[in-house]
Amino acid sequence: MTISAGQKMPSGVFGVMTDKGPGAISSEDLFTGKKVVLISVPGAFTPTCSMNHLPGFVNEAAKLQAKGVDTIACMAVNDVFVMDAWGKDRDVGDNVMMLADGNGEYARALGLEMDATGFGMGMRGQRFAIIVDDGVATHVAVEAPGQFEVSKAEAILDAL
């Protein structure tokens, strides 16, 4: 079942890069007591994700924070090394937390996985953005296949 507004975010663990190497953060630590914008992209270094989706949130970080967002987090079904390298390549700095959903378990828990085997990418997460307030999804914006409208930074700013 796909998550919808008003539902509690599922429990899970994301990979993150730390100063000491690969680490982890639980969904509880990420969401509890905070307002978080969680975005998901089908893959790091892919064209729309790299040129539009992630950079939009980096560029609009100050406006999102001004509307009460504590954390902007980007997840993809990639490993922690890829997510770290992609974050450096896109110069996210401290604006966006890069989360690895290496096996797609969190995308599956959200009901937002997609089959990209036709593109040689295996199972991935759909393109989406979720506004989470203290562990509860308050706005869920899932893109139709091939689209990039409802999950971009400007649309999320309007939803806040």
Give the full edge-to-edge strand order of the sheet including 21-26.
Answer: 21-26, 13-18, 97-100, 71-76, 35-40, 128-133, 136-142
Query: Tokens representing 98?
Result: 């890069």
Q: Distance between the two ends of the chain, CA-based, in angstroms?
A: 25
Is residue 109 helix, strand or coil?
helix
From the list 3, 16, 38, 49, the catalytic residue is 49
3-state secondary structure of 156: helix
DSSP category for residue 57: H
What is the Cα–Cα distance from 11 to 87, expressed in whole angstroms?
24
Q: Is residue 37 within 8 Å of residue 63, measured between CB atoms?
A: no
Q: Side chain identity at 129, as an amino acid letter?
A: A
Active site residue 74: no
Catalytic amino acids? 49
